[in-house]
């Protein structure tokens, strides 16, 4: 799969898309490649081996060529992959790294130069390669025992606006104002975690996320056309159920579409307007 996947990165970057189209490729957990008309974005690239991975890395960091933006939502190993960032930076030497402001030093510490990293706080945005990237606060924790919170903006989601608007939530639980913040940015597509949280996992220090019902409610409240679940497949101790999500959406939010993506190939989304 590695050779095929590596070739697909370059093919994805070479796609010619209309303003109302975007290509998305889910690579497991929260890792997505997004192709807009003018730019290719790699979100939370997790390419390093790990003994607990259930899904192997799709390709090597040095095969991540043709990127314009690398977006990091927060500093956890399956989102900020310090082992892989130097190879990604070398493979795409003109790519900008976008991350929460408190995480900038961590990225620079992996060997990415300061002038390539843009730090954002809630409500801020930056434009790179013809797309506007908006920061949306996420509520998460390093350890569940610390309690969920915003931690000075260390956890973010992003709305990528390249004609099609795609919301990647990063890791978050619901909080007052989240749906309103996302809705104001009018996302067409919502990429949301569905692994949830419970006392057993939290007793092990695992900070959780939206569950299937909460993801469906957030996508619907934000006015998204399409919901793509993520963050349910990588670690046996922290799963979620896309089948349960589909059942909830069909019952409670029938105007919302759900796509359970395959890691084998990208798909193209076209906005309804």
Q: Which long-range contacts (CB under 8 A, 24 or more apart) does 176-185 make?
A: 178/136, 178/137, 178/139, 178/218, 179/217, 179/218, 179/221, 179/222, 181/122, 181/136, 181/137, 182/136, 182/157, 182/218, 182/221, 182/222, 183/221, 183/222, 183/223, 185/134, 185/136, 185/159, 185/161
Q: How confident is the model at residue 273 (pLDDT cuts 50, 70, 90)?
A: confident
pLDDT reported for residue 224: 98
Lowest-confidence pick of 79-88, 246-255, 262-271: 262-271
Q: How far is CA 50 from CA 56, 77, 83, 209, in A?
A: 9, 10, 11, 21
Which domains are assigned to the chain?
A: 2-261 (3.60.15.10)
pLDDT digits (tens, 9 = 90+) for 21-30: 999 999 999 9
Helix axes 212-221, 242-252, angle to 10 degrees: 50
pLDDT digits (tens, 9 = 90+) for 70-121: 999 999 999 999 999 999 999 999 999 999 999 999 999 999 999 999 999 9
pTM of the model: 0.96
Contact 26, 261 (CB under 8 A): yes
Strand duo 165-168 + 40-43: pairing: unpaired
pLDDT digits (tens, 9 = 90+) for 182-199: 999 999 999 999 999 999
């Amino acid at each position: 799969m590695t050779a095929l996947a590596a070739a697909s990165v370059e093919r994805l970057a070479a796609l010619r898309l209309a303003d109302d189209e975007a290509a998305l490729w889910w690579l497991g957990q929260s890792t997505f490649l997004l192709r807009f008309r003018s730019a290719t974005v790699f979100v939370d690239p997790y390419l390093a081996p790990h003994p607990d991975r259930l899904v192997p890395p799709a390709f090597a960091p040095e095969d991540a060529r043709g990127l314009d933006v690398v977006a990091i939502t927060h500093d956890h190993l399956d989102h900020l992959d310090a082992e892989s960032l130097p190879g990604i930076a070398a493979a795409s030497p003109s790519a900008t790294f976008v991350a929460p402001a408190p995480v900038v030093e961590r990225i620079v510490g992996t060997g990415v130069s300061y002038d390539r990293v843009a730090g954002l706080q809630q409500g801020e945005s930056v434009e790179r390669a013809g797309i506007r990237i908006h920061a949306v606060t996420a509520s998460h924790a390093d350890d569940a025992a610390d309690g969920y919170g915003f931690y000075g903006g260390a956890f973010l989601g992003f709305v990528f606006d390249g004609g099609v608007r795609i919301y990647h939530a990063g890791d978050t639980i619901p909080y007052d104002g989240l749906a309103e913040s996302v809705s104001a940015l009018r996302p067409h597509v919502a990429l949301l975690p569905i692994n949830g949280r419970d006392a057993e996992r939290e007793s092990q220090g695992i900070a959780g996320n939206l569950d299937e019902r909460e993801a469906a409610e957030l996508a619907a409240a934000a006015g998204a056309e399409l919901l793509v679940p993520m963050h349910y497949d990588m670690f046996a101790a922290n799963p979620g159920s896309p089948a349960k999500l589909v059942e909830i959406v069909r019952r409670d939010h029938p105007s919302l579409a759900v796509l359970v993506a395959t890691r084998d190939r990208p798909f193209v989304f076209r906005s309804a307007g």
